[in-house]
Structure formats: C-alpha cells, structure tokens
Chains A and B, each alone.
Chain A
Amino acid sequence: DTEVTQTPKHLVMGMTNKKSLKCEQHMGHRAMYWYKQKAKKPPELMFVYSYEKLSINESVPSRFSPECPNSSLLNLHLHALQPEDSALYLCASSPEHTGELFFGEGSRLTVL
C-alpha cells in the first residue's frame, strides 16, 4: 500500500464552525506533514511530525491545531477560520525526515 489517504476531499465551513481534516498512511512512514497550497502557488509547509511528535510548526495560527494519534494517522483540527484560509490542504509522509514525500490528493477547504 503506497497511498496517503485524505478525507474529506472537499469541505465548506463557516467561520464559527469546528471541523477536522484527516490523513492516513499504512507505509510505516515515521514523518508526516501538513502543507497548505493556494491557487497557482507552491505548497507551504505548516507542520511536521516525526515519530508522532510535533517537530516543526511554521508559525501557523492557533486556529489550526494538528494532532498525531498514532503513527498512521494525522489530523488537522480547524476552528474559527477566516476566508483567507480557503486553500488545498495537503498531507504527506516520508520514510525518514528527509527524502521523497508521498502526498495525498488533498482536502479542498472553503471558508465562508
């Protein structure tokens, strides 16, 4: 199994809602990542988990809250988002902390 699975594919939420994005991989990878991508822009790193511990937080606002319940799962909890947070949110994993990233198809988030 060489897939990274992200759910939901599409999410529309209001600014007062609480929602979560989910990511799952069964490749035994020890590093997992959240990226944010706006239209026609490169992916921007948000968070890195290594061995289920948060290793990097790229100064992301606290309305985004990551969680790594186990080595296969990565969540991104969303609360009180702004319309400018609308973007494609990409999850990725890698066998080690450097090298090839395996990406999911992304969750397209729209904040109204």
Chain B
Amino acid sequence: SQQGEEDPQALSIQEGENATMNCSYKTSINNLQWYRQNSGRGLVHLILIRSNEREKHSGRLRVTLDTSKKSSSLLITASRAADTASYFCATDSTGGFKTIFGAGTRLFVKA
C-alpha cells in the first residue's frame, strides 16, 4: 500500500534553477527519507530526517518535515542536468520494518 503522495508528478526546469518536491503521508512515522532513481536503475538514498527534526541539509539538498501536517519537502538548489531522475519520499512507520514509498516526482533538468 502506498503511504505517501508526492507533487508535482513531473517537473521540468532549466539548469541552475531550484527544484522543489513535496510529499504527504498518512500515518505516524519514525523517519522520512528521500531517494533518487535513474531510469531503470536501483534507488539511491539521499537524506533521512527523523520525526523530531524539522530541517536537514546535505550539500545542495534541503529537506523539511512538518509532522503536524504530515508533509515533507525536498529542495534541490542550483540544479544540474545530472539531477534528472525520479525522486521518491519513503516513510518508516513507528513499528519499523516497513519502508513505504510515495508515488514519486520525475524531474527533468534541461541543459
């Protein structure tokens, strides 16, 4: 079953612009993670934010978490063509073991 919903479903931007993706989820969580997937490949973990954190940075990535609204956002600054990929949020429920993925956002960065 799908835990998170993401918007937009697809995003097309110019190189150098910022890209923002949003994720909403339904149940209580331990943490929320963001993953990237290049076409037909495995997923790569980008960043994890715990339920007691509100914001986290890693390089050009900034993630926010609002547990009262059950939502998160991923900001990629100064995007590059190599950032073209699908991005998924994923949540671990408070019981653990289950990491459930949202629908994903397909990002296309034009050079």
Contact = CB atoms under 8 A, between A and B. Distances in A.
B44 A103 contact: yes
Interface residues of B toward A: which range? 20 to 34
B48 A97 contact: no
Interface in B34-90: 35, 40-45, 48, 88, 90
A84 interface: no
A56 B97 contact: yes
20 contacts: A31-B97, A42-B102, A42-B104, A44-B101, A45-B98, A45-B100, A48-B97, A48-B98, A90-B43, A92-B43, A96-B96, A97-B96, A99-B48, A101-B33, A101-B35, A101-B43, A104-B42, A106-B41, A106-B42, A108-B40
Interface of B: 2, 30-31, 33, 35, 40-45, 48, 88, 90, 92, 96-104, 106
Interface of A: 4, 31, 33, 40-45, 48, 50, 55-56, 88, 90, 92, 94, 96-106, 108
